Amino acid sequence: MIADNMYPSRARQLDRLIAKGIPLRQHSGGFPRWVSETAIRAASIGGYVARERKARVFRSAARVLNIMPPAEISGVNARPLETAGCGAAVITEFRPAVPELSAIGKEVSAVHDFDDLLEQAAKLPSERGLTARLSATAARRAHRDHTYDLRVTTIQAKLS
């Protein structure tokens, strides 16, 4: 499952996953005109999701995929923390900041390349109990260490 805006590198990755047989459900507020009749457009099942509906959608997925924007070079976007807070399992692209926020393999699946992504995307729904273990461990950590109040305090401390 993916709920995000679309840009060229993300669209390409998603189309490649679908071509390899990984089932995806994509939620988005719409597609830019440059996204032609591709596999990811066909996988779109609905519009933009937010708040409680987004949490339900995340929890219902075997995995939530986080393909970061190309400009996200060393940091992490909000998706891994947001997903964990909702009680869902996430596969995210590895960035140097990921291990600072989540225990790789225990709270989040972090991938380095397309082959790694393909392996993790197939593994999560097929390995019995793995999604539930990742989700539960990540949710506990998110609710303990990654609330907005705590994250803002951490960010302010780093900026001072």
Show the 3-state SS of 45-85: EECCCCHHHHHHHHHHCCCEEECCCCCCCCCCCCHHHHHHH
Number of domains in the chain: 1
Percent of the chain with pLDDT over 90: 33
Looking at residue 14, its pLDDT comes to: 86
Instruction: Give dist(CA 52, CA 10) in Å, integer.
Output: 25
The percent helix, strand, coil of the chain (3-state, each to 5) is 50, 10, 40
Residue 58's closest CA among 31, 91, 30, 29?
A: 91
Query: Residue 55 contacts by C-beta under 8 Å, 6 or more apart in sequence?
Result: 86, 87
Query: Residue 54 contacts by C-beta under 8 Å, 6 or more apart in sequence?
Result: 3, 86
Range of the domain at 124: 2-159
Looking at residue 78, its pLDDT comes to: 86
Pull the structure tokens for residue 123: 């593994």
Is 89 in a helix, a strand, or coil?
A: coil
Task: Judge whether residue 3 has pLDDT over 70.
Answer: no
Instruction: Report the mean per-residue pLDDT for the chain.
Output: 85
Average pLDDT over residues 116-137: 88
Predicted structure pTM score: 0.82
Average pLDDT over residues 144-150: 90
Task: Judge whether residue 10 has pLDDT over 70.
Answer: yes
Task: Judge whether residue 54 has pLDDT over 80.
Answer: yes
* CATH number, position 126: 3.40.50.2000
pLDDT tens by residue, 26-39: 887 777 777 666 77
